[in-house]
Amino acid sequence: MLHQRNYNTRNVNGALAQLADRVHVAGPFTILTSAGMPTASGIPTFRAADDLWKKHRPEQSAAPEAFFTDPSLIWEWYDWRRQDVARREPNRGHELLAAWSQRLDRFTLITQNVDGLHERAGTHAVIRFYGSTWELRCWNECEASANGWGNETVPLPTLPPHYCHGLTRPGVVWFAEAIEPAVAERSVAATK
């Protein structure tokens, strides 16, 4: 039989503060978060039993070929996802990591999530390994938008959005795409 403990919030927060102090002395501190992190905020994963891709395999839908074939369909999904995420709040895990990032000098958070909840919680030093749903890029990769730009408009006024006389794509890494070299380099450096 499992025994339940009644934790005093002050004691737990005090213990977390002590842990943060020890980590601070120990050196660089790097955290990696992935799909499970936003579930406590009500954001479902892509591969759960009730996942968002029941009718579409992510490898086929979140890919450059899918966007090239039907950019309107892909943007309808991303616009729906952006609206859903905009209604969500960072959870306690996000808040805890944000507090650590503000307290520790050499803190880095590498996240596979594209939802932006870490930043909304106030986390510093976030490396977004797979990009952000809140960034857009020119599909034609024109010089004017080489690194993309932030856009938190929900819903988007037109689907698919356009830029530079062409289409705009979400600023995320799709299946079959490489991680941006600078992002990979920063991630590796944070683990040393």
Q: Is residue 143 part of a domain?
A: yes
Q: Is residue 24 part of a domain?
A: no
Q: Is residue 21 part of a domain?
A: no
pLDDT above 90 (res 23): no
Q: What residues make up the domain containing 85?
A: 31-190
Q: What is the CATH number of the domain that holds 130?
A: 3.30.1600.10
Give me the pLDDT at residue 1, please: 35
Q: Is residue 8 part of a domain?
A: no
Residues 6 or more apart whose CB falls under 8 angstroms from that of 50 comprise 44
Domains held by the chain: number: 1
Q: Is residue 55 part of a domain?
A: yes
pLDDT above 90 (res 18): no
Q: Is residue 15 part of a domain?
A: no
Q: Is residue 89 part of a domain?
A: yes
Give me the pLDDT at residue 105, please: 84
Question: Tens of pLDDT along 58-116?
Answer: 667 788 999 999 999 999 989 999 999 999 999 999 999 999 999 888 899 999 999 99
Q: Is residue 1 part of a domain?
A: no
- Report which of residues 159 and 24 the model is more confident about: 159
CA–CA–CA angle 61, 64, 173 (5° rounding): 85
* Whole-angstrom distance, CA of residue 97 vs CA of residue 112: 15
CA atoms within 13 A on the CB side of 52: 16
pTM: 0.82
